[in-house]
Amino acid sequence: MTGRLKTLLVSLSAIVFLFGLQPGFAQDRLRIAWSGSSPAHSPIWVVEEKNLLKKNGIDGEVISINASSIAVQVLLAGEVDVIIGSVANLTSRLAGADTTMILGLVPTFVDHLITHPSITKIEQLKGKVGAVNRAGTSSELGIKLTLRRLGLDPDKDVRLVPRGGNPERLAAISQGIAHFTHMPEPFVREADRLGFRDLLDIGSLKIPFHWNGAMTREAVIKSKRPVIARYARAMVESIHFIKTNKEATKSILAKRLRMDDPDGLERAYKAYSVIFREAPYPYVEGVKTFMDDLAITNPKAANVDLSKYVDMGFVQELESSGFIKQMYRPTAVK
C-alpha cells in the first residue's frame, strides 16, 4: 500500500467519523452535570455555546450543580448520565458503585496557593487556617494533597474551614477568618489586586491528578455507548476550539465567569489552553495519586485495580480513527 493511499484512507476514516452523524438523524438524550465555576470547565462551556452536542446527534441537557459531592449523588441516582468533576468522585466505586472516568480533562493542579501578605514561605502555614469550598470536595482534597507534597500534615499542621467559592474564600482572608486558600486564574488576578500573596503555582509541583474529568457509570456505557462516544467526540472538538480560537474562547470565559477584566481573562486562557490535551486520556496515574492519599484514612483504597476506574476506549477510538489528527492538521488551525 502506497503512502498516498494510506493517507487517503486515514482521511476518509476521519471524514466518516466526523460527518457520519450530522443533523438529520435522531437525537439521543443525554444529561450532563458539572460543578464549580472555574476555567477548568471551559470544554463543557464551549460544548454548550457552540451547540456541539446537537452537532453530534445528542439532545443534551447540561446542568450546573453546587458541589462535586452532590454531582456524584445525582449520577448514582440515575438523574444524569455524565458528570464533570475531580477524580474524588471515583470514591463511590470503593463503596460498590460502577463509576468510571472516560475523559481526563485537567490532568494536574492549575490552582495557585494564595496567602495573607504576611506569609512569605511554606513553613509559616503551620498553625494557620485555610479556606476551602466545602468539606469532602475536590477543593479540600486539592489543598490537602498540595500541603502533603510540601511537607505539611493537613490534618495536624493547619485547620481547614469551608467558606464557599473563590470570592468567598478571598473575603475570608480579608476578614481574618482564614490565612490561605487556593484558586485558579483569573481569580489569582483578583487576589493580587487585593494585596494577597501568590505564594505558589501548584501546577509547578506537577502532581499527576485528575483535577477535572468526565465520569459516567458502566451501566450507562452499556446502555448508551454510541451516545457516550459522541459526547466524548464533542468534548474533543471543544478542546480543539479552545486551542485554536483564542478570542472566541475568552469571550465564553468572560460570559461564564461574569468577568470583564482583559488581563484576568488572558491569564486564564494561557493557563488552561495548554493544560487541555488533544487526546484527553484518563490516565491511571491521575487516579493513583488520589487513591494513595485516600489510603491513609481508607485502607480499601490501597489495593484497588486502578484499570477498573478508567475507560480509555472512547479516546482510543477517536485517536485510532484519525479524527483527532485530522482536526489538528495545519489547514484546520485558524
| Phi-psi map region of 100: left, alpha, beta (phi>0 left; psi -120 to 50 alpha) | beta
Q: Which three cell numbers stand for residue 326?
A: 485530522
| CATH topology classification for 112-205 | D-Maltodextrin-Binding Protein; domain 2 (3.40.190)
CA distance 219 to 231: 16
| CATH topology classification for 3-107+209-332 | D-Maltodextrin-Binding Protein; domain 2 (3.40.190)
The sheet that has 212-217: what strands, in order across it? Answer: 58-65, 28-35, 82-85, 212-217, 99-106
The pLDDT value given to residue 137: 75
Amino acid at 91: T
Sign of the dihedral defined by the CA atoms of residues 104, 108, 111, 116, in that order: positive
Mean pLDDT of all residues belonging to the chain: 89
The bridge status of strand 180-183 relative to strand 112-115 is antiparallel
The pLDDT value given to residue 324: 97
The pLDDT value given to residue 7: 43
Query: Any idea of the CA torsion for 276, 278, 279, 284, to the nearest 10 degrees?
Result: -30
Neighbours of 175 (CB within 10 A): 9
Whether cis (ω within 30° of 0) applies to the bond prior to 226 is no
Q: Which three cell numbers stand for residue 245?
A: 480560537
pLDDT tens digits for range 79-90: 999 999 989 889
Exposed / middle / buried, residue 247 (Cβ in 10 Å: 0-12, 13-18, 19+): exposed
The pLDDT value given to residue 16: 42
- Alpha carbon distances (Å) from 330 to 6, 213, 333: 19, 28, 5
With H, G, I as helix, E, B as strand and everything else as coil, classify residue 210.
coil
Start-end ranges of CATH 3.40.190.10 in the chain? 3-107+209-332, 112-205
Instruction: Collect the ranges in the chain with pLDDT lower than 70.
Output: 1-26, 331-334
The answer to whether 275 and 89 are in contact (CB under 8 A) is no
Q: Which three cell numbers stand for residue 258?
A: 461574569
Q: Single out the residue of 115, 125, 127, 124 nearest to residue 169, CA to CA.
A: 115
The answer to whether 268 and 186 are in contact (CB under 8 A) is yes
CA distance 153 to 179: 16
Sign of the dihedral defined by the CA atoms of residues 32, 284, 318, 324, in that order: positive
Q: Which residues pair with 29 in a beta bridge?
A: 59
Residue 96 Cα to chain centre, angstroms = 24
The pLDDT value given to residue 26: 58
